[in-house]
Amino acid sequence: MADYGVFLGVKDGLIRVRKGEENRTLSADVKRIVLATGGIAVSTSLLRLAAENGIEVVVLDSSGRISGKFSPLSRKGNVAVRREQYKAQSDERGLRLARCFARGKMLNQYYLLKSVARNRERGDVFEACREIKRRADRVLDCRSRDEIIYEEARAAEAYWKALSKFCEFDGRRRKRHEDPDPFNMMLNYGYSVLMTLVFDAIDSTNLDPFAGFLHGDNPRHPALAADLMEEFRQPVVDRAIMKIKPEVKDGRLSIKTRKEILLEIHKRLETQVTFKNRKLPIEYHIHLQARRIERFLLGEETYKPFVVR
């Protein structure tokens, strides 16, 4: 992540980072450069080096939402994938994926809440765990997107109410337009960062990021990226921000707090987790799940939601 007052350039084939009198160089063997604040200068030489080495340059706004992205030129020639994706929006495959995305989220809520309750010896939270698990199991029998969304919403109510016993907020998940408290500000910021990563994973495939199965189509909202993100909210963001005491200045998270969130999310993404008999960093699993959606739509494998026990 690049910070305020930094100049990014190139020196001898390496990424040059300069801030005031401080200079250092980094290998071009990185996946992504994230510009998370204003006051950063980037040279065209750096952009050229990024293009040649497959590095993405992502710009975030003050809320952690992606404002823009510089990506190396690539070709997406597998039209068959998108054709099947659009067909699946109105057949059983799309419903199957919607169930998986929602159930993955609900099971991750269940396991995270259960773990926190055990560690902090709060037996009164286990009823909420059981409620979430019941809702997750009911999703398997849902025959429409509306039914799935209903079960997911009721599970979310139980999850946030129970989680408020351990974190400083009133048990209701608030979005930006709802005047959120500091804890929800951290959630919103963290989810925006996660959306950037999931969108990148979808965008690296032949899938259309805007054609979803659980979330409705919206030209301003990448529905498929939002679908896949559901499986990673708790393993990446919720676990990360529970360690942070937020600072708020002028109605916004302080730069210090935003840096802490990015650092903790980075740690979570690097955490190795075993899923489908493969022990890999969570960030790798995000990309693998995107590819599995592709293969599922082509009839090459089944799809299983990513769950961390």
Does residue 308 fall inside a structural domain?
no
DSSP code of residue 234: I
Distances in whole angstroms, Cα of residue 4 to Cα of each of 29, 67, 68, 256, 262: 23, 17, 18, 12, 15
Domain end, chosen from 21, 50, 70, is at 70
CATH value at residue 49: 3.100.10.20
Mean pLDDT by 10-residue block, N- to C-terminus, for the chain (309 residues)? 77 87 84 80 90 82 73 70 97 98 98 90 88 98 97 97 91 79 94 94 93 93 97 97 93 93 96 96 97 97 97
Does residue 138 fall inside a structural domain?
yes
d(CA 301, CA 309): 23
Within this chain, do residues 159 and 13 fall inside the same structural domain, yes or no? no
CATH value at residue 271: 1.20.120.920
Q: What is the pLDDT of residue 181?
A: 92
Three-state secondary-structure class, residue 302: coil
Within this chain, do residues 169 and 200 fall inside the same structural domain, yes or no? yes
Does residue 180 fall inside a structural domain?
yes
Within this chain, do residues 40 and 135 fall inside the same structural domain, yes or no? no
Count of domains in the chain? 2
For the entire predicted model, the pTM comes to 0.82
Q: What is the pLDDT of residue 3?
A: 63
Q: What is the pLDDT of residue 22?
A: 85
> What range defines the domain where residue 29 resides?
7-70
Within this chain, do residues 109 and 36 fall inside the same structural domain, yes or no? no
Q: What is the pLDDT of residue 1?
A: 53
Domain end, chosen from 23, 40, 70, is at 70
Within this chain, do residues 134 and 260 fall inside the same structural domain, yes or no? yes
Within this chain, do residues 85 and 156 fall inside the same structural domain, yes or no? yes
Within this chain, do residues 157 and 59 fall inside the same structural domain, yes or no? no
Does residue 2 fall inside a structural domain?
no
Within this chain, do residues 185 and 48 fall inside the same structural domain, yes or no? no
Within this chain, do residues 138 and 220 fall inside the same structural domain, yes or no? yes
Query: For residue 242, which phi and psi values (nearest 5 degrees)?
Result: -65, -15
Within this chain, do residues 156 and 260 fall inside the same structural domain, yes or no? yes
Q: What is the pLDDT of residue 291?
A: 96
Task: Give CA angle at 32 (266, 218), nearest 5°.
Answer: 90
d(CA 29, CA 134): 45
Please answer whether residues 8 and 41 qualify as being in contact, where contact means their C-beta atoms are separated by less than 8 angstroms: yes
Does residue 305 fall inside a structural domain?
no
Within this chain, do residues 83 and 64 fall inside the same structural domain, yes or no? no
Q: What is the pLDDT of residue 135?
A: 98
Q: What is the pLDDT of residue 76?
A: 61
Does residue 33 fall inside a structural domain?
yes
Does residue 184 fall inside a structural domain?
yes
d(CA 287, CA 270): 13
Domain end, chosen from 20, 39, 70, is at 70
Please answer whether residues 292 and 301 qualify as being in contact, where contact means their C-beta atoms are separated by less than 8 angstroms: yes
The residue behind tokens 């996946």 is 31
Q: What is the pLDDT of residue 222?
A: 95
Within this chain, do residues 159 and 39 fall inside the same structural domain, yes or no? no
Q: What is the pLDDT of residue 73?
A: 63
Does residue 306 fall inside a structural domain?
no
